[in-house]
A and B are shown apart, each in its own frame.
Chain A
Amino acid sequence: MKSIKFIIAGILFGIVMSKSEAISWYRIQEMFRFQDFHMYGIIGTAVVLGTIATFVIKKFKLRDIQGNPIVFTPKEKSVPRYLLGGTIFGLGWALTGACPGPMFVNVGFSYWAIFIAIAGALAGTYVYGAIKDRLPH
């Protein structure tokens, strides 16, 4: 039971990403070409509701189901790592049409070619780990 709740949350995520077509290369292209509101609507709704939820959790100091306070770790202050890292991420996102979550949802959709992108993503993660100390952060 302790672990099954994470699988259920994942299933919910996988279904909603599929059913709203957010796992589609076409939808990501449409977003980067600013030709439809769809993806902006998805991310925008999630952010507005997420902001309200985060505010409420902080304001009322809500606790998680184990009774521990819910803490938000602030991101480290910097510009280069977010701008450079973000740009590199964006290059790949528009190319494969899938960010990390949708990559795996596509596996469930039997788009086996996505395994090439997943292998690439693991290699990219590994190389970052290997050379991170030589990069501006």
Chain B
Amino acid sequence: MLELISQPWPWYTSGIVIAFVMVLLLFFGKSFGFSANLRTICSACGAGKTVKFFDFDWRAQTWNLLFLVGAIIGGFISAEFLSSGEPVQISQATIQDLQQLGISAPDGMQPTEIFSLSAAFTLKGFLILLLGGFAIGFGARYAGGCTSGHAISGISNLQLPSLIAVIGFFIGGLITTFVLLPLIF
């Protein structure tokens, strides 16, 4: 059994569990939206004193911070106890495309060219993660949600704004993939 769990899970398992988590949170009286935590953390750190947007009762969002803590624990459990240690099983075509950019085939979950500490603390590596993160934080709040809030919860509720946001996610993602990455690497 553990051997079976330790293999990578097929996509439908993941889709089912993500929908289950969304429904679970609804029945807990909450709604699934991960990036709201970033606003909560800013507020908890005192950002409300300087910026009105962060001046709200962040303690009411504690449940979502607990969900965040759970997500970290879930990652830890997977890495420590449920992992076969096999590299990510991406398609051959992607491996070849990325090799042309100078990014090696998967060895674990993440490419060493970006996520190893030696890469992350070069100027280029540091800026990739910092600016990438900045765009995610800025864009998520501007759009009013991220993948969980728009692509999953919003579209499930047939919200046109969420569909527009997801189209935006892809416009941005395609620009990075086909324009920025070849310039950077």
Residues of A at under 8 Å CB distance from B? Answer: 3, 5-33, 35-39, 41-51, 53-54, 57, 62, 64-66, 68, 70, 72-79, 81-101, 103-114, 116-130, 132, 135
Contacts and interface: CB of A to CB of B under 8 A. Distances in A.
Given A9-B67, A82-B168, A51 B111 contact: no
Given A22-B14, A113-B114, A124 B67 contact: no
Contact of A6 (B23, B70, B155, B166): B70
B129 A91 contact: no
Given A64-B26, A89-B140, 5 more contacts: A25-B115, A85-B142, A96-B129, A109-B109, A130-B53
28 contacts: A12-B17, A14-B74, A14-B76, A19-B14, A21-B8, A43-B152, A44-B15, A45-B19, A50-B152, A53-B23, A82-B144, A86-B168, A86-B171, A86-B172, A88-B135, A89-B135, A89-B138, A90-B173, A91-B135, A94-B175, A95-B131, A96-B114, A100-B37, A113-B119, A124-B133, A125-B42, A128-B141, A129-B47
B133 A116 contact: yes
Given A33-B93, A90-B168, A108 B76 contact: yes
Given A33-B97, A51-B155, A120-B131, A8 B70 contact: yes
Contact of B90 (A16, A20, A27): A27
